[in-house]
Each structure stands twice: as structure tokens, then as C-alpha cells.
Structure 1
């Protein structure tokens, strides 16, 4: 398959966002593997939980209540979460200081359990994430979906991006681009579509030396209704 050149995508995004400097200011760096390892497994569980609660909800409400989430769930200490009995989890799910959604609250111990199994094999969940190769990032998405709870779709990828792991995200603008250029067809998250998308991003990454995150944003800034005219 032939792909549009990265230079063409980059120039289009520059034209739409007000120039190269303006575009570059919109591309925050990813964390290095060492930085990802230093985060701590509790922060991974916290971000997964935050992304799950933000999905389909007003992000600002979750943001404002987040200090209470941290308090109620012991700063997302994995060991403490795993020792929590079911009746305590039910009580915590009714705490008015958090968003009371029991189905989403139940993902906290479930995802802690996923992380514990990874810890036993890899030493820490942070090392597992840090060492996962970016040229197979969709396989990490699939792992989180299969072994975790409510981490499918864009929830897992958005959480990884917030943590600083280099990943593209299939936003509506990116999806529109991929379909318009016949890179994918059919279901967005089918294995065929995911692997075709990975192939395309690997190509652009090799061509440009840019991160997957940068490329994803550059594609999105080059389409849709996000034009910012230069002076």
C-alpha cells in the first residue's frame, strides 16, 4: 500500500494551525522508558480508572472530583486495592465524594488484578508498559482490552497517552483520514483495521523519525474543523 508522505501531512497541519512553530507547540513530548518506569504502578491504575470514568462523562466533573477518588481508593495502591473485600467496595462505590457508578468502580480491583499478574512476571507494571515496543502498540491495546476491564476502544490508548507512553489515538479526525485514504475499512477496532493502521504509522515513523503521538496529532490537525489562520 502507498501512503501519503509525512512531509505532505506535516505541511498541511502547519498551514491549518498557523505555521511550524504553532504546530510544534501543540506536540508535547512522550516520556522515555526510564521515565515511564519511574511513574509507579499506582499511577497507572489511577490513570486507567480516571480514563474509564471520563469515558462517556463530563471530563471536568471527574477532574474536580479526582482528589476524592485518590482519597477513597488509597491513592490507588495496588496491594491495598486487592485486599479490599466486596462489601467495602460496594460502600465505597456509594460515597458521594466520587461519581457513584458501581460498574466502573468494579474495574478498579479488576484492573489491579491484571496489574498484579503482570508484576509477578515482569517485576512491575511500569516496566511492562515501558518496554512494550511502539511498532506493536496495537497489541498492547489488545492486551489491555483482553486482560483488563473497560480498557477497550479509545479508553486504553488515551490512558497510555496521558501516562506518556508513545501511542497514536484513533480520534474521529484520525479515523476520517484513515478511511479517506483507504487505509482501513470496516470496523475501526477490528484486528484487520488495527494492524493496517499500525503498518501505516510504522511507515510514517520510519520516514520522519517522529513519535507515534506526534504523527497522530499531525494527522488530526490536518483535517477536521480545527483551522487556525496565521497572522
Structure 2
């Protein structure tokens, strides 16, 4: 049976001790801090993760200041008023990554964020902050269904970057879940998401730690991320 203690002990063994493990763990933002993040920042991070998906992250980072300049620091009200012809011209600007569909997704996700604000009568930041982490995969699915190009790991990675408490289904986390028969189907199936959520909820109740910390600990228990051990040895 997989327990929090067994996960923590394995992570410490593979990473060189409890002090090293604790130094690697980040904590999520408090709910109040999440609510104080401007909605434009949420749109910017969602957009950045869209561009980073399937692309070299450092190239996106190097050009991101140009994106901010070109799209008014992702000011949602300005983006909502942008006509198609202006967006088309911006999509051809050589200072940014000229991926037409991803560039148009910026405005589409501005429309999505605005629709959330109008429907729930709260800021998008409040909407995200108020979503229960006990159903964080429900938030992933909401972003996928209602936003543009926010499926897969894009939504979860953006939430993590913004400080929302979430686990990630990274390669090592997925490998661990499969190794212990927690996930036995495609990783994006309803069954896999429900089983993963239940597993992390149980760990959280047992340990009192955040999903972010638990996700990191689980990832340290699988794969070749072993301190001081060659990859050929760590696969044994």
C-alpha cells in the first residue's frame, strides 16, 4: 500500500536526505494572494503556456517581453476591442513567435476570461482562487472545455506557475501512478483523472501538505532523478 510516509522516505533516499528534499519543495500561494493577481496576469500565463507547449521554452521566454508590448500587457479590455485585421497584423510581427492559431488564442482566451467574470460576477482571479483543490482536475477540465488550447498539461502548468495549488501529471508522476496501478488507462481519461485526484486527496489528508508539495514528492520517487547516481544505475 502506498502511503505518504513511504513516498517521503523514498524521495529522501533518492534525493540525499530530508534537508535536500525540503529545499526542493515549493508551496502554493494563499487564496488571498491568488485573488490579488490581476486578471491580465492570468491571461498572460495561460498564453505563455500555450506558446511553450511543443516549443522550446527558452525561446518563448526570450521573446515574451515583445508579446507583452504587442498585446498591451495582456490587458483584457483592450484585447476584447481589438478588431480582426489588427490581430492579423500582430500575428505577422517578426518580434514574436508567428504561430497564427496560438496568437488568435490570446484574444479567444481574453473573451473566455471575460465570460467567466460576467457569468459568476467575480474577477477571474477570484474564480480560480475559490475553486476547491479537492476537485482541481475539474478546474483543468473547465479550462479545457471553455478556453482555447488549454487542454493537456497547459492549464495545469499555468495554474502551477500562478501559484494555484495543483498536482501535475508529469512524466515521473504518471510513471509512479502507473507503477502502483492507480492509473491504468489513458492519462487524460475521466477514470485516470478521478483516480489521480482521489490519490492526491488521500495523501493530503494523511500528510497535511499541499498538492504542489505532494506532486513533487511523488515525482522524486520515479524515473532517473536520483542524486549522485548515474542514470544507468538509477533505472534498476
Relative to the length of structure 2, the TM-score reads 0.95
- The aligned runs of 1:80-229 (5 Å cut-off) are 80-120=78-118, 121-229=120-228
SS in 1 for 2:187: coil
Hey, what's the Cα distance between the residues in 2 that align with 1:190 and 1:5? 24
CA deviation profile, 1:79-131 (whole Å, cap 9, x unmatched): 10110001111110111111000110011111111100111123200000000
SS in 2 for 1:123: coil
Q: 1:27 aligns with which of 5, 25, 28?
A: 25
- The residue aligned with 2:69 is 71
Hey, what's the Cα distance between the residues in 1 that align with 2:194 and 2:80? 34
Relative to the length of structure 1, the TM-score reads 0.97
Q: Between Structure 1 and Structure 2, how many residues are aligned?
A: 228
Is the contact between residue 25 and residue 213 of structure 2 (CA under 8 Å) also seen in structure 1? yes
Structure 2 unmatched ranges of 5 or more: 230-236
SS in 2 for 1:108: helix
SS in 2 for 1:16: helix
- 1:229, distance to aligned residue in structure 2 (A): 3.6
Is the contact between residue 122 and residue 128 of structure 1 (CA under 8 Å) also seen in structure 2? no
SS in 2 for 1:25: helix
Hey, what's the Cα distance between the residues in 2 that align with 1:51 and 1:135? 23
Hey, what's the Cα distance between the residues in 1 that align with 2:121 and 2:190? 26
Hey, what's the Cα distance between the residues in 2 that align with 1:49 and 1:103? 12
Segment of structure 1 superposing worse, 44-53 or 21-30:
21-30
- The residue aligned with 2:232 is none
CA deviation profile, 1:186-211 (whole Å, cap 9, x unmatched): 11011111011100000000000010
Is the contact between residue 176 and residue 221 of structure 2 (CA under 8 Å) also seen in structure 1? no
Hey, what's the Cα distance between the residues in 2 that align with 1:123 and 1:47? 19
Hey, what's the Cα distance between the residues in 2 that align with 1:102 and 1:212? 35
- The residue aligned with 2:233 is none
Q: Is 1:10 the counterpart of 2:8 in the alignment?
A: yes
Give me the CA root mean square deviation: 1.0
Query: After TM superposition, what 4+ stretches of structure 1 lie above 3 angstroms from structure 2?
Result: none
- The residue aligned with 1:43 is 41
